[in-house]
Amino acid sequence: MAIIEAVGLRKVFRSIERQPGLRGAVAALFSRTFVEKVAVDGVSFSLDPGELVGYIGPNGAGKSTTIKMLTGILVPTAGQLRVAGIVPYQNRMANATNIGVVFGQRSQLYWDLPLRESFELLRSIYDVPRARYLENMKHFAEILDLERFLGTPVRQLSLGERMRGDFAAAMLHDPKIVFLDEPTIGLDVIAKEAIREFIAAVNKERGTTVILTTHDLADVERLSRRIVLIDEGVVIYDGSLERLREEYGTHRTLVVTLAESYPDVAVAGAEVEGRDHNTVRLRFNRRELTAEALIRRVTERYQIVDVQIVEPAIDDIVRRIYLEGYHEGVVGAPS
């Protein structure tokens, strides 16, 4: 049975429309015209327990609004929503005990207190049994390497340390579901990897359901098999990453290192994407031409030293969808 079930979820915000300039600001004090903005427009999806889903979309697509509705701090304008059997906004407190939240941009730790004391406070808030608390702390301290800075006030922690603290804080009460909102933003590669490893471990070992919102698609590629793509408040794709790559990643790149420098390089069926000395990048549509055929065409005309096939980056695929919209079964026209 689904642990998260959203059907036709919709959220409309009402805001005051203001005319530009000082005149408009003064006029707005006396008469107000309201404009409605549809942030989420009929979103439906369902998650099974233990799933790890990437919730992806450009800025302003409605991701945060959806997360806020799931956490119970925003009431949907229309639609049905159940999180672990609970309607979040009707039972904010009960829902809160089932979920854990990490925001990359905002810490839930207590700024002036040593990290350890934030954990103590959370133990008390969620009423975690002492034995379970100690067990979790030991486990998290190990994988997140917290021991070193447990006694440091949060305001003195580096961003990477703080994020590791935030992850432990969100998982301390063994939530059934965790919402991660851009958890790796601003982190260096090593810290990012540590966080990704932790997410993967929690999902695998504890069976925690994870919804991951991010702009760093490397997070998604590393962690989730399923992604939900949202744009302008509408789900435009819900499925596996492979299928998306299959449908959109029609173009690959063959990187050829030539034995000598030819003045002009041109191969039928491929387009020269870039050239750096003797290295040429050839972009081709894999539905029209196999890599083997292309290599043959190249070797017929040029002396080569090395070849390499580069798959399309997920970033490029998603960027294209943001720009063009998603079309089922699209055959890649060159972008």
Contact positions vs other proteins (CB under 8 A):
13-14, 65, 68, 71-75, 82, 84-87, 89-94, 96-97, 99, 101, 103, 106, 108, 110, 112-113, 117, 120-121, 124-127, 153
Q: Which is nearer to other proteins, 112 or 328 (by Cβ)?
A: 112
CB of 44 to other proteins, least distance (A): 19
Phi, psi of 251, rounded to the nearest 5 degrees: -105, 135
CB of 227 to other proteins, least distance (A): 24
CB of 13 to other proteins, least distance (A): 6
Q: How many whole angstroms separate alpha carbon 41 and alpha carbon 222?
A: 29
CB of 112 to other proteins, least distance (A): 4
CB of 39 to other proteins, least distance (A): 8
Strands (DSSP E) contained in the chain are 4-17, 33-47, 52-56, 78-83, 99-103, 177-181, 209-213, 226-231, 234-240, 251-258, 271-276, 279-285, 304-310
Residue 330: how many CA atoms within 13 Å on its side-chain side?
21
- CB-based burial label for 11 (10 Å; 0-12, 13-18, 19+): buried
Q: Which is nearer to other proteins, 12 or 255 (by Cβ)?
A: 12
Q: How many whole angstroms separate alpha carbon 164 and alpha carbon 183?
A: 10
What tokens were used for 307? 């070849």
Q: Which is nearer to other proteins, 121 or 289 (by Cβ)?
A: 121
Amino acid type, 121 = L
Q: Which is nearer to other proteins, 7 or 295 (by Cβ)?
A: 7
Q: Which is nearer to other proteins, 120 or 193 (by Cβ)?
A: 120
